[in-house]
Chain A
Amino acid sequence: MNSQKFIKAEKRKAEELIEILDPLVKEWFFFRFNEFSESQLYGVMNVFERKNILISAPTGSGKTLTSFLAILNYLVILAKKKELENKVYCIYSSPLKALNNDIFINLIRPLEEIYIIAGKKGIELQKIRVSVRTGDTETKEKSKMLKEVPHIFITTPESLAICLTSKRLIDLFYSVEFVIIDEIHSLGNKRGVYQSLSLERLENISKITPIRIGLSATVSPIEKVANFLVGSDESRNCYIADVSSYKKIDCEVLSGVTDLIDTNSQEMHSSMYNLIDKLIQNHKTTVIFTNTRAATERVINHLKEMFPQNYVENIGAHHSSLSKEHRFDIEDRLRKGELKVVVTSTSLELGIDIGYIDLVILLGSPKSSARALQRIGRSGHKIHDISKGRFVVLDRDDLVECSILNKECVERKIDNIHIPKNCLDVLAQQIFGMCIQKIWDINEMFKVIRKSYCYSDLTREDFLSVISYLSGEYALEHRNVYAKIWYDVKTKQIGKRGKMARVIYLTNIGTIPEESFITVVIGKGEKKDFKIGVVDESFFEKMKPGDVFVLGGKKYQFMYARGMRAYVKPGIKRNPTIPSWFSEMLPLSFDSAMEIQKFRRQINNMFERNSTEEKIKEFIKDYCYISDSVSKSIYNYFYEQYKFSKIPHDKRLLIEFYKGEKNYVIFHSLFGRRVNDALSRALGYLMAQKVGRDIEIGINDNGFYFAGEKLPIDEALKLIKPENMDKILDEAIFKSEILKRRFRHCAARALMILRNYKGHKKSVGKQQMKSFFLLSAINKISKDFPILKEARREVLEDLMDKYNAKLIVKMIDDGIINIERIHTNLPSPFALNLVLQGYSDLLKIEDKIEFMKRMHKAIIEEINNKV
């Protein structure tokens, strides 16, 4: 099969590196630095020797310069000899738009300094040009690049794809020698898929094969990411420099109170903020990571309210829904040391230079060890600094989760990255781009596409169905108005259609779905106008006055809306009337989930063996590298569950039958939300089909529950098999809100719905309306329509985790996991959070008309009763 090799890079001697450096570069380097960093010793020589390489190292370990050093050196040598050509030598692509500062530090300033050194020595150098081209670059700048070609071309995945459709730019790319992909670990999504195809297109254009240099934070499995970087062509090997373990970390789990269950929420709240304040005050600069944008605002408000003397101008928020200007300002003030603390959701995870940070607080579980390490790594930015991170826990499930993540961080167990494969919407957009570039032979195009790691096993059938869609064969429209390409079956050639093609492509490119949000604010009482958070517009459309919904873990009743604001009443006790499917929270990684399950089993065994409390607490403490008091809290939590009923674990799947206001069937399936989502929908669908009524589903990382009048779960468990999971799941999500929503995203990526047409921007609402309509039309035409197929794939493979869900079903089938049942009058301690959280979705089985008739009967009865 594939004979590609992924080779561990060796650490080279400093002398070797010194030898290859031009005297000017050498002088500059040692003027700036005392010695080479670990990542430079592993990486620089490979770039010099023109080998593909993936460099995995923590932020701040000098990996950007590692990638550039040999290239700068090469360009300086050419500049000295006056042999610099008018072409692009190096393309550097980063997912971040705000690169200017990093580029200044790693490129502009080194070059300036080298020129000064050269000037002093009377050495004449040709000018080495560096240009940034992103969506924000002005037209004037862009046209300048065509005349004075930048030798180093800095861009984003989207802008690179645009460049590849422009004939004049392609002419500059004909012999690119180096391609650097930064932050490649953050591209395990459709943006990354998109970029992987752009790289193959670049390779196809280029007369020589550029080497690929990938820069990554700690990631696993590293070979997979290397493969993602270089693609699947058999001739492409890749060196791997894994220097991630060279940065020391110091992490700990903290809780504001010793007893997380019997302390009232007011007390818990204030002691948690006391703890956070103390941590901040004991350090110079702190970054706090929360998982949601809404929580970011909340934390800032509470800190300011509780400690007005400590936090005034020295505190700031940084998250993706804030304006660019605001974010730049925060980053700038961080670098200048003007801020004591910054609270962020996920936006500061990536490698933007943020200056000196000596503490990272993880407020609530970061949900995966890779993410935990990435966040903690933001502190101690200099190479030899120790990264310091503190997990501050919110509740008892969070406590257990954070303790296991702490263990994984200390032991450097990284969870596996997920890279989507065979995304047909991204493929459609890229094929359209390729057709704008030139007329292709269809076989050549297929070959180029399959070189991408993400499409290495793309079937010809899927490829051709995308071609059919793009060339208007699905007859969605009269005279193929929507056809974007032509395909001549006889000559096997394909090309673009229409004069507008390039404009349509330029104005609709990209993979990040557009959403619009409604701000939720308190509508009355003393906290009137207090901003709670945001909800998705499409979710909001489902609400009517009186509905109860969950936001940020609290229940609110919707009162009324004005413009883009929804006014609500807080402190609601009633159960939610609106499912919370919209809240696509960070899911717990499957690997970390299984670690927790394993931990549960070990504790369970100790209880069953009648180990003493002391011994168990000691074990927990050593196992998770945590303090006595945290270990005690975990012990108490597990002991309660053990005494109450049974502890579920990786070999025991506990099903709890609890009768409260409704009938609950609770699965203690700690597999992470992605697996639970798939499992619960499959089982729920089977049950709902039997009883013919809708079934309520609640999902979190620790399990899921069903509620309804009749829940024939045993029958469902008998029916479910690894072999029929695909079919069941396809049917289960067929009518779901989530499929509709993801279909809209996919349709926009595949350019079925244009966000921009002839200068008119379409509102998200209009896009949505169109996509719902399209979806129902397509369902009539073909279930295998490629973009619908992609939406299903995205829901089942990216949003959910079909494969691991199947794995679990197989383990049940094979008897590796045993199912045990318990009946309770109160939810068991481990089930409490799940039941309290409310439901996530409703499996719709009942026919809309049947529902109408049922409602009709109920309403008429009610009216008659009144009379």
Chain B
Amino acid sequence: MERFDNINKKVIFLEDSLIIGNTLVIGDLHLGEKEILPKIYYNEIIEKFERIFNEIKLKKINLDKIVILGDLKHEFGEITNNEWRYVLDIIRYLGKKVKEIVIIKGNHDSLLMPILKKVEIGLKDYFFECGALFLHGDRLIDKKVISKSKIIFLGHLHPALSLSDEYKNEKFKCFLTGIWKNKIAYVLPSFSPVFPGYDLKNKDMHEDKDFFIIDRKFLLKFKVIIYDNKDNKEYNFGKLKELV
């Protein structure tokens, strides 16, 4: 991968994912969530991937890698039948699209390893390459790694923003981007077709200071970006603190 000198210009938003260089980055998937119908859930995810890969083809990007930012599976203390099935299915599916799949360990992934062993993929606490750092976002990692990185991608937060006019109120998934620890940081929305995410306007969600490694006071300075799937265009809403 080339070094990201003109980093911001290299980031391309695509639905709930983004592309940096030849790498596709996606947020939390939460496969196998018991309360929902796993097959429909899985199908929706595949449909979304298909749209993204089509768009990538149109953009003539030569994709070689996918980074999953953690929480690939959902249930904490067990591996359900559905998780076995769909985690393997999705890895096999993505394996046909790219040469390399990198999986970061999320807080939901304590029992993901046994599944990944079947397909001989490792589970990383973080992934670093050519100045880009990919992590889940639930806990801090080695300071040295952070300091040598230029750009950081995080998941875990499931950011969303509710917009309301005089009487209407709708919630939208969003990206956050700003400066953290003197680096450029991107927080990705979840990839889940079920959860829109946590409304950033709701302060309560972030009262647990340890939930996300970026403190809310920094996040408030981040820009909010909402992606329009219809026209494939992103909308920059400015700084979060102006919106909440």
Is B121's beta carbon under 8 Å from chain A? no
Q: Which of B193, B199, B201, B235 contacts A856 (CB 8 A)?
A: B235
Interface membership of A560, Cβ < 8 A: yes
Contacts of B169 on A, CB cut-off 8 Å? 542, 544, 547, 577-578
Whether the pair A851, B36 counts as a contact (CB closer than 8 A) is no
Q: Once the chains bind, are B235 and A773 in contact (CB under 8 Å)? A: no
- Known contacts A560-B204, A773-B41; A762/B35 CB under 8 A: yes
User: A463 at interface (Cβ–Cβ under 8 A)?
Assistant: no
Interface residues of B in 186-232 (CB under 8 A from A): 193-195, 199, 201-204, 226, 228-231
Q: Which of B37, B40, B166, B170 contacts A848 (CB 8 A)?
A: B170
How far, in angstroms, from A839 to B170 measured CA to CA in the complex? 18
Q: Which of B48-105 contact A (CB under 8 A)?
A: 85
Segment of A130-138, A454-462, A857-865 engaged in the interface with chain B: A857-865
Cβ-closest chain A residue relative to B226? A852
Interface size on A, residues (CB 8 A): 39
A859 and B237 contact, CB distance less than 8 A: yes
Residues of B within 8 A of A694 (CB): 167-168
How big is the B interface, by class? 35 or more
Answer yes or no: A579 CB below 8 A from chain B CBs: yes
Give residues of chain B (133-175) contacting chain A, Cβ–Cβ below 8 Å: 162-170, 172
Asked whether A696 is an interface residue with its Cβ less than 8 Å from the other chain, the reply is: yes
Q: How far is the CB of A695 from chain B (nearest CB, A)?
A: 10
* Contact present for B238 and A577 (CB under 8 Å): no
Query: Whole-angstrom distance from the CB of B31 to the nearest CB of chain A?
Result: 13
From B37, B162, B170, B230, A476 is in contact (CB under 8 Å) with B37
Q: In the complex, what's the smallest C-beta–C-beta distance from A13 to chain B, in angstroms?
A: 65
Assess whether A851 is in contact with B168, with CB atoms less than 8 Å apart: yes
Give the docked Cα–Cα distance between A296 and B193 (Å). 43
Quick one: which of B8-65 are within 8 Å of A by CB?
35-41, 44
Residue of B nearest to A864 (CB): B238
A852 surroundings in chain B (CB, below 8 A): 163, 170, 172, 226, 228, 235
**CB of B89, distance to nearest CB on chain A (Å):** 10
For B168, list chain A residues within 8 Å (CB).
Answer: 694, 842, 844, 846, 851
In the bound complex, CA of A634 to CA of B226 (Å) = 56
CB pair B39–A544 under 8 Å, yes or no, is no
* Interface assignment of B1: CB less than 8 Å from any CB of chain A: no
Q: How far is the CA of A777 from the CA of B193 in the complex (A)?
A: 11
Q: Which of the residues B36, B41, B165 comes within 8 Å of A855, measured between beta carbons?
A: B165
Do B170 and A851 touch across chains, with their CB atoms under 8 A apart? yes
Within 819-867 of A, Cβ neighbours of B (below 8 Å) are at 839, 842, 844, 846, 848-849, 851-856, 858-860, 863
Residues of B with C-beta under 8 A to A855 = 163, 165
Q: How far is the CA of A579 from the CA of B164 in the complex (A)?
A: 13
Q: Does A774 contact B (CB under 8 A)?
A: yes
How far is B36's CA from A477's CA once the two chains are assembled, in angstroms?
11
Most buried by B among A696, A769, A852: A852
A167 close to B (CB within 8 Å): no
Taking a contact as CB atoms closer than 8 A, the residue among B37, B165, B237, B243 that contacts A774 in the complex is B37
A777: B residues at CB distance < 8 A: 37, 40, 44
A478 at the interface (CB under 8 A from B): yes
Residues of A757-788 whose CB lies within 8 A of B: 762, 766-767, 769-770, 773-774, 777
Collect the chain A residues with CB atoms within 8 Å of residue B37's CB.
Answer: 476-477, 482, 770, 773-774, 777
Given that A769-B36, A773-B37, A852-B172 are contacting pairs, would A577 and B242 also be in contact in the complex, using a CB cutoff of 8 Å?
no
Determine the residue in chain B with the shortest Cβ distance to A777.
Answer: B40
Residue of B nearest to A762 (CB): B35
A9 in the interface (beta carbon within 8 A): no
Contacts of A842 in B (CB 8 A): 167-168
Contacts of A594 in B (CB 8 A): none
Which B residue sits closest to A560, measured CB to CB? B204
Chain A residues within 8 Å of B44, by CB? 777
- Please give the distance in Å from B47's CB to the nearest CB on chain A: 10
Q: Which residues of A contact B235 (CB under 8 A)?
A: 852-853, 856
> Shortest beta-carbon distance, A469 to chain B, in Å?
13
Q: CB-nearest residue of chain A relative to B86?
A: A478
Q: Which residues of B contact A586 (CB under 8 A)?
A: none
Residues in chain B near residue A577, CB distance under 8 A:
164, 166-167, 169
What 4 additional pairs, Cβ within 8 angstroms, besides A478-B39, A767-B35? Answer: A545-B203, A579-B167, A849-B230, A852-B172
The 4 closest A-B pairs by CB, nearest first: A777-B40, A855-B163, A478-B39, A856-B235
Provide a sorted-by-A list of 10 A–B residue pairs whose CB atoms are within 8 angstroms.
A545-B203, A560-B203, A577-B164, A696-B167, A769-B195, A842-B167, A852-B172, A852-B228, A855-B165, A863-B242
Give me the interface of B with A, judged by CB distance under 8 Å. Answer: 35-41, 44, 85, 162-170, 172, 193-195, 199, 201-204, 226, 228-231, 235, 237-238, 242-243
* A residues at B contact (CB < 8 Å): 476-478, 482, 542, 544-545, 547, 560-561, 577-579, 694, 696, 762, 766-767, 769-770, 773-774, 777, 839, 842, 844, 846, 848-849, 851-856, 858-860, 863
